[in-house]
């Protein structure tokens, strides 16, 4: 079977990226499946109008991996569908497919001189990580409640990844615990710690070892809490756990690829934001792990509450190791979509990370594998927006409205987390600066209804794993 792969106009390359190859693979495989193909063959060739261009994403290994990942995305089957067993006698005639194809073949012909076996292995490892992220992020709030996510991870992640979990203890994580307070036993939250050690201290100079600390927002369902989401906007809030899902998916990639020179410490805050007699309300004051008094003025700003104490814990660990990099990943704000549009992640760095060029490094790494990021900047207004004019508390959990509107909506939550976690004591002009990056994936986690993207797994892999595994473009500012 031959599927036409029409050349694109040269003008499109002003803004085109890896997504050109990936989208072609996705659309063509979708067509193949729809017409009944069970063993599609993906024939990869160069884009005819790109012969004189020198974009990094047009390098043979990058281009082939792009197409493979696009094809595999099209073949993903949701977890609930894979697990579903329709009872005999059901009058529903909708077919259930536990898999969309028996085999996926690919061939690059004479156009690309690439190691087919190695690229196939890399694509499979990355797709396995994306599958885990899609399973967790895309499944409904009961199938992937906090308890069920822990059970799922214990089955999926094996040595060398370590998985431990604990309740959302108010003494350790007071801001997250206040959100979890409104849940019944079935929806009780968990904090999951994931550890990957890619090298022992005896094998490598500790100064060359990167310690990556990832904190993922895992709000299994967001009703808005007492500030209830109304008017139909609560639908799709099962996707509010995609940040934690991406962190878990990246650990699946680490589990399979076992990179050296890298230690990764992951924390998932798995909490449901419920409404009920025990739910937290606006006007409550709670003291963070770092000792900062926070007054709640919006219970629907629960994501930052869930992550802040986990970020504080990561900060405490980061101060004891070499080359620490802190990161929070969350479907945090609708504002990032209003700012940049669907499909784009907003990256916000603190001063030390900005000085290292982390925002540009992540943007470049993501662009190679189709995860597109835009860079935002923290300003003093973001910090000021959360300050209080009272003696009772130090911070508001949601930025004050200016002229009746909330401005800088995806930047100011980062300022809140920096202050409430105590990271403001580790900025550029301090004795021990810590580089911290936030990724808001609210508009890049995928369409709903539809399949989650797993963002930013490919960005993290492109930055920290693939340069070691193969000849891979790696930009460092």
CA 386 to chain centre: 25
Give the ranges where 91-197 is alpha helix by DSSP (H). Answer: 116-138, 146-156, 174-180
> 285-287 and 372-377: which strand pairing?
unpaired
How far is residue 312's CA from residue 267's CA, in Å, rounded to a whole number? 11
Number of other residues whose CB lies within 10 A of the CB of residue 420: 29
Per-residue pLDDT tens over the stretch 410-427: 999 999 999 999 999 999
* Confidence (pLDDT) at 92: 76
* Confidence (pLDDT) at 404: 67
Alpha carbon of 288 to those of 125, 215, 349: distances in Å? 38, 16, 22
Question: b/e map of 19-54 (b: 16 or more CB within 10 Å)?
Answer: bbbbbbbbebbeebbeeebeebebebebbeebeeee
For residue 167, what are the β-bridge partners?
Answer: 190
* Confidence (pLDDT) at 475: 64
Q: Which residues of the chain have pLDDT under 50?
A: 1-18
* Confidence (pLDDT) at 425: 97
* Confidence (pLDDT) at 13: 35
Domain ranges of the chain: 10-84+102-114, 140-469
Radius of gyration of the chain from its Cα atoms, rounded to whole angstroms: 22
Q: Is the dihedral of CA 11, 14, 20, 21 positive or negative?
A: positive
* Structure-token pair, residue 412: 């100011």
Per-residue pLDDT tens over the stretch 246-266: 999 999 999 999 999 899 999
The residues annotated as belonging to the active site are: 229, 304
CATH superfamily, domain 140-469, is Zn peptidases (3.40.630.10)
Side-chain-side CA neighbours of 403 within 13 Å: the count stands at: 2
Contact predicate 260/467, CB 8 Å: no
């Amino acid at each position: 079977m031959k599927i036409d792969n029409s050349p694109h106009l040269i003008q499109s390359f002003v803004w085109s990226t890896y997504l050109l190859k990936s989208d072609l693979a996705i659309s063509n495989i979708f067509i193949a499946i729809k017409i009944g193909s069970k063993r599609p063959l993906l024939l990869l060739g160069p884009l005819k109008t790109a012969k004189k261009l020198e974009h990094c994403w047009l390098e043979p290994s990058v281009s082939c991996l792009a197409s493979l990942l696009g094809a595999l995305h099209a073949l993903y089957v949701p977890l609930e569908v894979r697990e579903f067993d329709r009872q005999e006698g059901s009058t529903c005639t909708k077919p259930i497919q536990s898999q969309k194809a028996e085999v996926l073949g690919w061939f690059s012909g004479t156009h690309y001189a690439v190691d087919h076996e190695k690229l196939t292995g890399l694509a499979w490892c990355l797709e396995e990580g994306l599958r885990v992220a899609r399973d967790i992020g895309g499944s409904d709030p009961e199938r992937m409640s906090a308890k069920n996510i822990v059970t799922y991870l214990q089955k999926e992640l094996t040595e060398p990844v370590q998985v431990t979990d604990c309740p959302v203890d108010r003494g350790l994580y007071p801001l997250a615990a206040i959100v979890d307070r409104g849940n019944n036993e079935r929806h009780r939250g968990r904090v999951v710690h994931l550890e990957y050690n890619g090298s022992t201290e005896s094998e490598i100079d500790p100064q060359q070892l990167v310690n990556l600390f990832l904190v993922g927002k895992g709000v299994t369902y967001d009703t808005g809490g007492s500030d209830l989401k109304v008017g139909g906007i609560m639908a799709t809030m099962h996707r509010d756990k995609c940040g934690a899902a991406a962190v878990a998916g990246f650990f699946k990639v680490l589990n399979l690829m076992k990179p050296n020179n890298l230690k990764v410490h992951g924390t998932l805050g798995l909490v449901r934001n419920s409404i009920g007699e025990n739910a937290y309300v606006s006007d409550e004051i709670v003291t963070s792990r770092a000792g900062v008094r926070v007054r709640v003025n919006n219970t629907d700003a629960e994501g930052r509450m869930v992550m802040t104490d986990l970020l504080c814990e990561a900060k405490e660990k980061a101060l004891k190791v070499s080359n620490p990099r802190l990161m929070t990943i969350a479907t945090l704000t609708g504002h990032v979509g209003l700012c940049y549009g669907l499909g784009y992640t907003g990256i916000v760095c603190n001063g030390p990370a900005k000085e290292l060029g982390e925002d540009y490094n992540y943007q470049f790494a993501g662009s190679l594998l189709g995860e597109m990021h835009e860079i935002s900047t923290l300003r003093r207004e973001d910090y000021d927006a959360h300050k209080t004019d009272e003696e009772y508390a130090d911070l508001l959990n949601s930025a004050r409205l200016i002229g009746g509107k909330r401005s800088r909506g995806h930047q100011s939550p980062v300022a809140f987390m920096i202050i409430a976690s105590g990271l403001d004591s580790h900025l550029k002009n301090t004795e021990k600066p810590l580089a911290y990056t936030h990724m808001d994936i609210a508009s890049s986690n995928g369409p709903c209804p539809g399949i989650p993207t797993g963002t930013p797994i490919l960005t993290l892999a492109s930055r920290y794993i693939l340069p070691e595994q193969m000849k891979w473009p790696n930009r460092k500012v």
